[in-house]
Amino acid sequence: MLVVRKTVQMAVRKHLSRSFSASRTHLQERKGLVLGVFEKEAEEGGLHLTEAAARFDQSLSGKLSDLLKIAAPVLKKGKSRIFYGIHQDFPCVAVVGLGKGNEGVCGAENWDTKKENIRHAVSVGCKILQELEVNHVEVDDCGDAKSAAEGAVLGLFCYDQLKSKKKTRVTTQLHGSADVDDWKKGVVYAEGQNLARFLMEAPANHITPTAFANTIEEKVAPYADRVTVNKRPKAWIEEQQMGAFLSVTRGSEEPPVFLELYYNGCPDKKQLPLMLVGKGITFDSGGISLKPSQSMDAMRADMGGAATVCASIVTAAALKLPVNIIGLAPLCENMPSGKATKPGDVVTAKNGKTVQVDNTDAEGRLVLADALCYGHTFNPRAIVNVATLTGAMDVALGSAATGVFTNSDWLWEQLHKASVVTGDRVWRMPLFQHYSKQVTDCQLADLNNVGKYSRSGGACTAAAFLKEFVTAPHWAHLDIAGVMSNKDEVPYLRKGMSGRPTRTLVEFAAGLAHSG
């Protein structure tokens, strides 16, 4: 077993050595170019080249424009045309449709439509060139270098570490623009989300609680001057009297880890930290309340909350955001065994409240309860916990947005504002006393870990349960079960685990940093 474990750990390190994306200039590659075009207004018809595309067209004496006219119909949003051999430096040129150039923030959609169109279009161009085995792509900023970089880096990510045949490794570079700083920022944002995607997609036998903690420790190593890592073992968890968390760990042979990250980006000691807490169930079988076997493999991503929280802190450190952040990730597996917690058992949380565990598959709220209690000891300015908590959240919102339950209008506004920028949307959900009564009406203990009326309002009763462990005036619970994976809903993400809402968390932290 020890030899197998060492082999797996070596394999994980080898896989991690493959960067999630790149944006370096290479001299001897097969090069490609992605250029954007906007649709003209209806009465005008035709296409409007971006600045970079117009300069490229001018260098070819209008040849690109002529080819686009020939290649009817008019290039629509998210569509592409590929041209070969029209420029000596770029054997392949992908021209992508950006939609209308006058679009911006859309109140109905709760995002910036122009930014989303750029992400979508650039990802389409980059993926097509990747399929053509082009290994270095220069990208038009399309009027927003950060969004273009995000589209390129997110679109090119593919988890193929364990496959013999891998997709072409593609490096990216900004083309025809001086907006290098925004481009680099977009690359960092996207690489943060790709880190979360990697952790969520990797098999559960590769990303155990210990392997997860070690991976994050490796990723923050370049920022050791401003990030401190504590990997707390089971003995420490027991000392902290985290009985709710420990009850979930009982069925697994894998030891739990309570991971702490301290990012010190602001020298002002008076600035209170932002607290991020992520559910870290590295595999969720449901425990004794066993899940159906169909799609159980997807429960390797039940640590999506921990993945997005930790990836956000890695990204904040890379960006050198002037803010202090503490990240907490209770990591364990939820497995059935002769030692596992049984339905009807009563456990005691860190704050002394007793919980009747009627469903061992409602385990995420148990590990978060103790982490939230511990998080309060740091007197944070705000607490945001993130979790793939309930299937009911997926039923309610699907993959359109992350559900947000919060006791703070101010915190909601900050999260919503960030999500409009990133296009990774959030939607506010209710925290009524109506739901609290359903978890406090309990036969054997102070609380029940499932609602009185079973599945009705399941996402809301789960949030109400967490609320029983919160005294902070600014707290938000983000249920990301609906956005955990992507089929084709987000066009610039390939099928697989999504890493959402990492970029929204980073943008939120950046907003706090700049608002003081």
Known catalytic membership, residue 69: no
DSSP string, 107-159: TTTTEEHHHHHHHHHHHHHHHHHHHTT--EEEEE-TT-HHHHHHHHHHHH---
**Rounded to the nearest 10 degrees, what angle do helices 458-467 and 364-376 cross at?**
30
Token pair 């994980």 is found at 12
Phi–psi pair at 219, nearest 5 degrees: -70, -30
DSSP string, 349-405: -TTS-EEEES-TT--HHHHHHHHHHHHHTT--SEEEEEE---HHHHHHHTTS-EEEE
| Catalytic residue (one of 115, 365, 494, 500) | 365
Q: Which of 413, 409, 401, 405 is nearest to 466 (CA)?
A: 405
Q: Which of 409, 426, 396, 405 is nearest to 505 (CA)?
A: 426
Query: With b meaning 16 or more CB within 10 Å and e meaning fewer, what string describes 14-49?
Result: ebbeeebbbbeeeeeeebbbbbbbbbeeeeeeebbb
Token pair 């090069």 is found at 31
Phi-psi region of 133 (alpha: psi -120 to 50; beta: other; left: phi over 0): left
Q: First CA to last CA across the chain, in angstroms?
A: 51
Residue 254 to residue 218: CA distance in whole angstroms:
20
Q: Which of 50, 4, 24, 219 is nearest to 135 (CA)?
A: 24
Q: Which of 25, 47, 22, 23 is nearest to 36 (CA)?
A: 47
Torsion of CA 306, 476, 233, 221, to 10 degrees: 50
Q: How many C-beta atoms lie closer than 10 Å to residue 341's C-beta?
A: 24
Query: 123 is written with which tokens?
Result: 């990802």
| Catalytic residue (one of 30, 55, 100, 291) | 291
Residue 483 to residue 489: CA distance in whole angstroms:
10
Q: Which of 290, 382, 267, 400 is nearest to 341 (CA)?
A: 290
Known catalytic membership, residue 500: no
Residue 334 to residue 387: CA distance in whole angstroms:
15
Query: 364 is written with which tokens?
Result: 């995420």
Active site residues: 291, 365
